[in-house]
Structure 1
Amino acid sequence: MCSDHDISDTVSHRDTLPPPSVLRHVVDVHCHPTDSEIPVKIMDNLPITLCAMSTRQADQGLVRDLATAFPDKVIPCFGYHPWFTHWISLVPYESKEEHYRWIFKDADKHPEAFQKLLVHLPEPVTLQTVLEDVRQNLMAFPKAMLGEVGIDRASRVPYDFSSPKELTPFIIPFEHQLAIIEAQFDLAAELGRNISMHSVKSQQATIELFDRMAEKHGERWMKINLDIHSCSLSPQTWLNIEKRHSNVFLSLSTAVNSRSPNHRELIAACSSHRILVESDFYQIDECVQRTWDMVLIVAEVKGWPVEAAWEEVIEDSQSGVVRRLEKNWRKFVQGCHVGLEIPISSNR
């Protein structure tokens, strides 16, 4: 998930798009269109498929409505993002202030900051309520995914998320984030739903999380796929995950990954069968171009041709980037890696 305070202003659009016959095979596997106004005309003319993420209680219904209005263009994704997990209560509480003092153990060290933050914080919601909400939405949409969920060691809590540039000294405890993502992962395994995951500054914790889930759920876990979106892992960490977990994919975006040259090394290291692309953007009128920009970067790094028209007849060994990414997406959607070894006990 990207927002005003973490979008790179250095992204240069190439401003060239292929014909609709090619774009209709492109999938933006992670975006946030309900974070801004969505003109109906743009949705009517949208040439690609979007995976629309939800992040908190307020936008679950917005994603649901968008997918209902445009079922052929939108794959809904329901879940609670780590940036909002302090809004979720794991234990009973007597008051809003008591809950947030329980979350932010160092509140007494920053009393003025805590009181200033408390004004903007919502009444907490219980984890049980969150899970029931996600369950109902996933069951209402057979193709829906769990997302955006995740873990984040770097993000500081803003005073007001609607104007997030002013940050507090508080960070959501990592153990709290883990409890919430594991509960959501359990639900995804139970319902057989694929996952879009946020992972920032949590490389080893991400590997350990996957190991626990594979060991806990076994074949149920291997029946679903998981995408680490706007993946910022090191190439070596990714290779470790790729070897150990056959149901994990990665996707990249210009909104986040273009800040570092590391993303090209990551593309080069990643198996050609595990790469997906995304915009990770909130303005619907930019999602197409930003996703296509990443398609071109993948093509450049991997040395794959770019389709100028879909009608071209190409041998499988010479498939263009869009055909390859579409095949990866279909593999991701299909899931089901049962029968493959779950190498939890192997040496890293």
Structure 2
Amino acid sequence: MCQQHQDQAQDGRSHYRDPFPWHLGAFDAHCHPTDTMASIASLATLNARVLAIMATRSQDQHLIAKVATEHGISDSDSPLNYQGGSASVDPASAAPVGKKACKVVPAFGWHPWFSYQLYDDTASNPTYKAPNPENSDTSAAEDAKIAHYKVVLSPTPKEPSFLSSLPPPTPLSSFIASTREYLLAFPHALVGEIGLDKGFRLPQQWLPDDASCRDEGLTPGGREGRLLSRYRVQMQHQQAVLQAQLRLAGETGRAVSVHGVQAHGVLYDTMAACWKGHERKILSRREKKRIAPGAEESSSSDDDDDSGTNELETGAAAKSKKKKPALGKPFPPRICLHSYSGSADTLKQWFHPAVPSKIFASFSTAVNLGTDGGRAKLEGVVRAVPDDRILVESDLHMAGDEAEAVLEDMYRLVCEIKGWDLEQGVGTIGKNFQEFVYG
């Protein structure tokens, strides 16, 4: 728990002294435990019920699939009804019963930090021109790789050693095809982590003497403590990678977890371009009077993202209500703005009634309490998020006690800001997580 919130607890103005109701189900909406695969073993002892685990790059897509195969939510499970991660309570004895291991919801996607490693082979003039496979001249492939990175990175790299240290780029179409296969294999999977980042800079290259210092417990491909270079990924290239993944999410009817740093305006514009022409109709007062009471919402969209089964319902009632999700749209049905760091005013555009996607915002201590500026605006932003659209996350690179502690801390803080007691807040956020994943 951070010092600020310990101080609040000591002056008696918060619920920090109350026991945390793990038995109601706590959900981590965004985390990266496959960056430290050894931490996956802790799923058997966690109090949290479900973790939404994110892929980011080439090295972790198959790891997400592996963990989801072993620990994923099955078709018969629902997040709120699944008694896992913490013990349910027998009302008669108040004793914990039936504890199961924490489950995971997988997410497959390519993070903007690694977007330079893809090239858009569907573009009229691709940045990478693959050499003829019959040409055994390795210099041609190296020249093509360097040409790609000189286009997508800014400023244009000139150091031969830095350019040669970068991997050959992967075709965007190939990545989208493999991601589609993962989504088909895991019916509850999300698309993530995807997005835009103006602030990110590539890490410097590995040097020969660095090999002995590498942590073998970390999944390769990350920064791993390297200093940052001066090179950034061109925003236009990031947008192309993001838009391809948004189209895939729309095509498959999957929710997305979206990263946005120093790019809140361009992120909204990029995503809004996907739903252009599909906006919800905003009825005038005269139009509302002309339709039957209660029909306003159904009149705003002919097949919106509210279709589907409420996972709290079971049996024949649930089956009779179940509808097939609307597929084939050019935009995702549900969007989570992960660790949202923009202002409350910027948030208003996302929740405009014309937006056809259902928008959620999640918060983490790692990002939202990581700077003085983030702490200063968090309360206003949390208050601006509708009660039924707020989520909580750890955004840490391992599972275990530390991730669970920061998850609990943010749960408590959101409840404090919203004026909820812990049981009300945990229950509300649990329902929101279910709605985000299942629709």
Q: Confirm or deny a common fold (TM above 0.5).
A: yes
The secondary structure found in structure 2 opposite 1:157 is coil
Distance 1:155 1:16, change over 3 A: farther
CA contact (8 A) 1:15 1:289 kept: no
Deviations 1:25-64 (A, max 9, x none): 1110100000113345411122321000000111000011
Question: CA RMSD, aligned part only?
Answer: 2.3
Please tell me whether residue 82 in structure 1 is matched to residue 112 in structure 2.
Answer: yes
TM-score using structure 1 length = 0.82
Q: Which residue of 2 aligns with 1:101?
A: 150
- The correspondence for 2:196, drawn from 130, 143, 151, is 151
The secondary structure found in structure 1 opposite 2:387 is coil
Please tell me whether residue 29 in structure 1 is matched to residue 29 in structure 2.
Answer: yes
Q: Which residue of 2 aligns with 1:257?
A: 368
Please tell me whether residue 225 in structure 1 is matched to residue 368 in structure 2.
Answer: no
Distance 1:281 1:199, change over 3 A: same
Please tell me whether residue 301 in structure 1 is matched to residue 362 in structure 2.
Answer: no
Q: Which residue of 1 aligns with 2:388?
A: 273
Q: Could you tell me how far apart the structure 1 residues matched to 2:4 and 2:115 are?
A: 30
Q: Could you tell me how far apart the structure 2 residues matched to 1:182 and 1:86 are?
A: 15
Please tell me whether residue 333 in structure 1 is matched to residue 437 in structure 2.
Answer: yes
Q: Could you tell me how far apart the structure 2 residues matched to 1:284 and 1:17 are?
A: 22
Deviations 1:194-218 (A, max 9, x none): 0000011112112212321112666
Q: Could you tell me how far apart the structure 2 residues matched to 1:239 and 1:211 are?
A: 14
CA contact (8 A) 1:28 1:287 kept: no
The secondary structure found in structure 1 opposite 2:37 is coil
Question: Which has the greater radius of gyration?
Answer: 2
- The correspondence for 1:18, drawn from 4, 17, 20, is 20
The letter of the residue matching 1:332 is: F
Q: Per-residue deviation at 1:86?
A: 0.4
Q: Per-residue deviation at 1:21?
A: 1.3
Q: Could you tell me how far apart the structure 2 residues matched to 1:321 and 1:89 are?
A: 43
Question: What is the aligned residue count?
Answer: 309
CA contact (8 A) 1:120 1:159 kept: no
Deviations 1:311-343 (A, max 9, x none): xxxxxxxxx1001111212222343xxxxxxxx
Q: Which residue of 1 aligns with 2:239?
A: 178
- The correspondence for 1:111, drawn from 155, 158, 162, is 158
- The correspondence for 1:291, drawn from 400, 407, 417, is 407
The letter of the residue matching 1:133 is: S
The secondary structure found in structure 1 opposite 2:386 is coil
Q: Could you tell me how far apart the structure 2 residues matched to 1:222 and 1:97 are?
A: 33
Give the alignment of 1:118-137 within 5 angstroms.
Answer: 118-137=163-182
Q: Could you tell me how far apart the structure 1 residues matched to 2:46 and 2:362 are?
A: 21
The letter of the residue matching 1:273 is: D
Q: Which residue of 2 aligns with 1:312?
A: none
Please tell me whether residue 247 in structure 1 is matched to residue 358 in structure 2.
Answer: yes
The letter of the residue matching 1:187 is: L
The letter of the residue matching 2:381 is: L
The letter of the residue matching 2:158 is: P
Distance 1:303 1:11, change over 3 A: closer
Deviations 1:143-199 (A, max 9, x none): 000000000111111114443441111110000000110011001000000000001
Distance 1:163 1:223, change over 3 A: closer
The secondary structure found in structure 2 opposite 1:159 is coil
The runs of 5 or more residues in structure 2 that have no matched partner are 7-15, 74-102, 121-125, 132-143, 206-221, 280-302, 304-328
The letter of the residue matching 1:191 is: T
Deviations 1:84-129 (A, max 9, x none): 000001224242222212223532xx523xx342243111101111
Distance 1:41 1:15, change over 3 A: farther
Percent of matched pairs sharing the same residue: 32
Q: Could you tell me how far apart the structure 1 residues matched to 2:343 and 2:65 are?
A: 34
The letter of the residue matching 2:396 is: F
The secondary structure found in structure 2 opposite 1:193 is coil
Q: Could you tell me how far apart the structure 2 residues matched to 1:208 and 1:41 are?
A: 41
The runs of 5 or more residues in structure 1 that have no matched partner are 1-8, 308-319, 336-348
Q: Could you tell me how far apart the structure 1 residues matched to 2:195 and 2:173 are?
A: 18
Q: Which residue of 2 aligns with 1:70?
A: 71
The letter of the residue matching 2:394 is: S
CA contact (8 A) 2:247 2:331 kept: no
The secondary structure found in structure 1 opposite 2:165 is coil
The secondary structure found in structure 2 opposite 1:226 is strand
Q: Could you tell me how far apart the structure 1 residues matched to 2:40 and 2:154 are?
A: 45
TM-score using structure 2 length = 0.66
